[in-house]
């Protein structure tokens, strides 16, 4: 099978197309013929710095949409020929930037019939991150106020939709040029972070979704009402703000996204109902994965990038 691999850490130029043996599903696994695979910032971070993986060579990619080719012993939830989408277990279940990939059967759910594979592949990791942060961790309720940083980004724009679907009042930070797009997703209030200090413009927030870290965390604490929670998807540096959070009477949670059958089913239902959709910033053939990485690293895309594998 064709796959995008790397032998060393570095820039997008280290990525290369290779031929690898097609994997076989093990106990409780499915083999998926990949039709499309999403990209996320964690892909280029691992390409350059390894982060949670071992030494290269490795094949990156966690998002996948495709067709079940074969099932391993004990699998009952999928059959060959089923269209599925989902996220490989993060971080070490990596490998969707290839023509075939194996993963736990319950990491995947049926692909909604109302979207194509490119759209489906853009959703899992970012939507699960937003769902696990807002719903599972923060317990976001109707009528609550939520502040979402980088609201037009991959996680952010899906978080806006999930929060609105739960009846929250959504405040987002984004450059002015992206405000119209975010209003179209239902955002109630938007802050141009280049012109306005959100920490002075926003108050009485129940939940903050932090996708940036740095001083955004400490500044965001001041927007929370007592009892509020900041959930960061960048799982480091809690000690730096713990004392301030305690003084203000708020909570800080650091999240690493997990493969999640129940969460994927909830996301599938939103997609099927037309209440959740990924904005596609660009689609690249598998062989041009390096170009997709280079574009993603600019930090200026709106929504998600996807590799069209088949």
Residue 94 exposure: Cα atoms within 13 Å on the Cβ side: 23
In a domain, 259, yes or no: no
pLDDT of res. 238: 83
Are residues 137 and 27 part of one domain?
A: no
CATH of the domain at 229: 3.40.50.720
pLDDT of res. 240: 85
Are residues 282 and 223 part of one domain?
A: no
Helices 261-272/124-131 angle, 10° precision:
110
User: With bands split at pLDDT 50, 70 and 90, how would you rate the model's confidence at 142?
Assistant: very high
Cα–Cα distance, 150 to 165 (Å, whole number) = 19
The answer to whether the CB of 61 falls within 8 A of the CB of 97 is yes
In a domain, 269, yes or no: no
- Nearest Cα neighbor of 156 from 167, 164, 148, 144 is 148
* pLDDT tens for each residue of 4-61: 999 999 999 999 999 999 999 999 999 999 999 999 999 999 999 988 998 999 999 9
Cα–Cα distance, 177 to 198 (Å, whole number) = 17
Q: pTM (2 decimals)?
A: 0.96
Could you give the number of structural domains in the chain?
A: 2
Q: What is the percent of the chain where pLDDT is above 90? A: 95
Cα–Cα distance, 276 to 82 (Å, whole number) = 22
Instruction: Note the maximum CA span of the chain.
Output: 57
In a domain, 186, yes or no: yes
In a domain, 57, yes or no: yes
Are residues 227 and 116 part of one domain?
A: no
Q: How many residues does the chain have?
A: 310
Domain range enclosing 91 = 2-123+278-308
CATH of the domain at 304: 3.90.180.10
In a domain, 13, yes or no: yes
Residue partners of 243: CB distance under 8 A and separation at least 6:
none
In a domain, 264, yes or no: no
Count other Cβ atoms within 10 Å, centred on residue 237.
14
In a domain, 49, yes or no: yes
């Amino acid at each position: 099978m064709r796959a995008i691999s790397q032998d060393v850490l570095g820039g997008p130029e280290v990525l290369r197309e290779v031929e690898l043996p097609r994997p076989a599903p093990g106990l409780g696994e499915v083999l998926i013929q990949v039709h499309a695979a999403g990209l996320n910032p964690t892909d280029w971070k691992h390409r350059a710095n390894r982060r949670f993986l071992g030494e290269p060579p490795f094949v990156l990619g966690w998002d996948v949409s495709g067709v079940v080719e074969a099932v391993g012993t004990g699998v009952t939830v999928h059959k060959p020929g089923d269209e599925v989408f989902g996220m490989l277990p993060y971080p070490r279940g990596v490998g969707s930037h290839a023509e075939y990939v194996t993963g736990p059967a319950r990491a995947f759910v049926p692909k909604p019939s109302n979207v194509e594979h490119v759209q489906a592949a853009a959703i899992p990791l970012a939507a699960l991150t937003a769902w696990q942060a807002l719903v599972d961790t923060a317990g976001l309720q109707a009528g609550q106020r939520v502040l979402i940083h980088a609201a037009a980004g991959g996680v952010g724009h899906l978080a806006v939709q999930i929060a609105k679907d739960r009846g929250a009042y959504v405040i987002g930070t984004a450059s002015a040029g992206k405000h119209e797009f975010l209003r179209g997703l239902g955002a109630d209030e938007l802050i141009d972070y280049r012109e306005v200090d959100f920490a002075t413009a926003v108050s009485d927030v129940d939940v903050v979704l932090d996708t940036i870290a740095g001083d955004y965390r400490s500044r965001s604490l001041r927007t929370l009402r007592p009892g509020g929670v900041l959930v960061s998807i960048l799982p480091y540096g809690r000690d730096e703000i713990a004392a301030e959070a305690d003084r203000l009477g708020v909570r800080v949670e650091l999240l690493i996204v997990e493969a999640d059958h129940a969460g994927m089913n909830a996301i599938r239902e939103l997609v099927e109902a037309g209440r959740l959709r990924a904005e596609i910033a660009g689609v690249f053939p598998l062989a041009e994965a390096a170009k997709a990485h280079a574009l993603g690293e600019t930090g200026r895309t709106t929504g998600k990038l996807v590799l069209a594998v088949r």
